[in-house]
Amino acid sequence: MPVRSANASWSGDIKGQGSVSVESGLFKDVNFSVAKRFGDEPGTNPEELLGAAHAACFSMALSLGLAGAGFPVTSVKTADKVHIDKVGDGFTITKIEVSVEAVVPNIDNAKFQEIAEGTKKGCPVSRALAGVEFVLTATLK
């Protein structure tokens, strides 16, 4: 199986700044900082990147699960909201709200919810984040 890579660097103390790049070259040396992570300064941050990775994985895994159950998928759109909160002396990703909308002909809502719940537990990025609370809202259109 393939191994994917990304890298990040940081300069200075906590008020410094860093950059992040991905192997594919889709983005290279994108800046991030505490102000971008905890404030209103535009730019990326680890939670946003984590949300993007999970939303992409969840969409793919849900499509696979639906098709595997005999329900061809027209579309799946997933949005993640990643919560980071002060816990004790540090910060912790405490919850990820996953909102998914799918267009899937010939499936009833109960079966769709069953497959979506299975995806919440089974998508590879969900499993990697098993210590985080996931709140799923799945909408069949």
> Whole-angstrom Cα distance, residue 99 to residue 110?
17
Q: Do residues 19 and 58 both lie within one domain?
A: no
pLDDT of amino acid 132: 86
CATH number of the CATH domain containing 107? 3.30.300.20
The total domain count for the chain is: 2
**β-strand pairing of 75-87 with 17-22:** unpaired
Question: Which domain range does residue 24 map to?
Answer: 6-38
Q: Do residues 31 and 61 both lie within one domain?
A: no
Q: Do residues 34 and 55 both lie within one domain?
A: no
Give pLDDT tens digits for 36-86: 888 888 889 999 999 999 999 999 999 999 999 999 999 999 999 999 999
Q: Do residues 86 and 116 both lie within one domain?
A: yes
Q: Do residues 70 and 136 both lie within one domain?
A: yes
> Whole-angstrom Cα distance, residue 36 to residue 44?
6
Kindly state the tokens that stand for 53.
């990775």
- pTM of the predicted protein model: 0.90
Q: Do residues 20 and 77 both lie within one domain?
A: no
Q: Is 119 exposed, middle or buried (0-12, 13-18, 19+ CB in 10 A)?
A: buried
Residue 1 lies in a domain: no
Q: Do residues 136 and 81 both lie within one domain?
A: yes
Q: What is the DSSP letter of 129?
A: T
Kindly state the tokens that stand for 101.
């909308």
Answer whether 98's CB lies under 8 Å from 58's CB: yes
